[in-house]
Amino acid sequence: MSLELFGHPFSSYTWKALIALYDTKTPFEFRNIAGDQYPENEAAFLDHWPVGKFPLLVEEGVPTMESSIIIERVAPRLVPADPASALEARMLDRIFDNHVMTPVQAIVSEHLPFITEKPDEARIARARAALDKVYPWLDSRLAGRQWAAGEEFTVADCAGAPSLFYADWVQRIPEALASLKAYRARVLARPSVARVVDEARPYRALFPLGAPDRD
Ligand SMILES: N[C@@H](CCC(=O)N[C@@H](CS)C(=O)NCC(=O)O)C(=O)O
């Protein structure tokens, strides 16, 4: 079985799939589509998925889109066997993507000159308000848990790590939310997560709001 993952080393959703692959020690080939350096990778990627959203998994020529589905394909054990635990893990995965990463992407894209000439301050304010609402909810939900969905490292953590990594860069998690801050630190220390953070260091200058000197 040959697995190829197309993605960008600084992309949050690429991290999500990479964390699952690294954590489960699944062999694969990374097809980097960063910038103009790898035109053959970009062409093959767009050939499989003209929508152009990454990551994309290609297995023996057959593409799979969407990071959560890629994880279920390559690392099924990251979804718990018990149905109630599986539901919790999938729900947290959706919450991190839709209610943390989506507002983060909105704020970041409003600062990308090739997407917008002048930042839409109202959109940025709405995204910041969304983060302000979800942070305390996450803090309560994660209290007393080792990992996002309980005692097991799951797909929810693959989503939680990149979304909270970047969320804290655009809107600092308040000190008072100790469980959420501790979870972020814990998940960033996991070797599979530390590896994607390290591999992305050369790309930090790309962060349009300016990467903070930490993490
Ligand atoms: N729902 C998708 C989201 C993927 C996504 O938004 N990827 C971003 C990179 S982190 C992307 O492709 N950005 C490039 C673009 O929008 O053109 C998933 O989970 O894979």
Kindly report, residue by residue over 9-25, the tens digit of the pLDDT: 999 999 999 999 999 99
- For the segment 98-119, the average pLDDT, to the nearest whole number, is 93
Does position 1 have pLDDT exceeding 70, yes or no? no
Q: Classify residue 133 as exposed, middle or buried by CB count within 10 Å of its CB (0-12, 13-18, 19+).
A: exposed
Strand duo 56-59 + 62-65: pairing: antiparallel
Mean pLDDT of the 134-141 span: 98
Residue 187: closest CA among 214, 213, 215: 215
Question: Full-prediction pTM beyond 0.85?
Answer: yes
CA of 144 to the centre of ligand 1 (A): 31
Is residue 54 within 6 Å of ligand 1 at its C-beta? yes
Count the helices and strands in the chain (H runs, E runs). Answer: 9, 4
177 closest CA partner among 210, 138, 144: 138
pLDDT at 158 over 80: yes
- For residue 54, give every residue at least 6 positions away whose Cβ sits within 8 Å of its Cβ, in sequence order, or none: 6, 7, 8, 11, 13, 14, 33, 45
Question: Which atom of ligand 1 is nearest the CA belonging to 55?
Answer: 20
Q: Kindly state if the Cβ of 69 falls inside 6 Å of ligand 1.
A: no
| Closest atom of ligand 1 to CA, residue 11 | 10
Region 97-122 average pLDDT: 94
The residue-averaged pLDDT of 128-143 equals: 98
pLDDT of residue 116: 81
Distance 32 CA to ligand 1 centre (A): 14
Residue nearest to atom 12 of ligand 1 (CA): 53
The pLDDT value recorded for residue 114 is 81
Write down the pLDDT at residue 113. Answer: 81
Residues whose CB is less than 8 angstroms from the CB of residue 132 and which lie 6 or more positions away in sequence, other chains included: 171
The Å distance, Cα 176 to ligand 1 centre, comes to 31
Amino acid code (one letter) for 209: L
Q: Residue 115's pLDDT is what?
A: 83
Q: What is the dihedral of CA 89, 90, 91, 93, to 10 degrees?
A: 90
With bands split at pLDDT 50, 70 and 90, how would you rate the model's confidence at 36? confident
CA of 67 to the centre of ligand 1 (A): 9
Q: Are 113 and 58 in contact (CB under 8 A)?
A: no
Q: Sheet of 29-32: strands edge to edge?
A: 29-32, 3-7, 56-59, 62-65
Pocket flag, ligand 1, residue 163 (CB < 6 Å): no
Within 10 A of 46 (CB to CB), how many other CB atoms are there? 14
| Of 159, 146, 150, nearest in space to 68 by CA | 159
- Residue nearest atom 16 of ligand 1, based on CA coordinates: 53
**Mutational pocket test of ligand 1: of 54, 102, 105, 207, the residue with most ligand atoms within 8 Å of the beta carbon:** 54
- 151 pLDDT tier (thresholds 50, 70, 90): very high
Q: Which two tokens stand for residue 74?
A: 């390559």
Percentage of residues of the chain with pLDDT beyond 90: 95
How far apart CA 170 and CA 131 sit, in angstroms, is 10
Atom 1 (ligand 1) nearest CA: 66
Nearest CA to ligand 1 atom 6: 53
203 has a pLDDT exceeding 80: yes
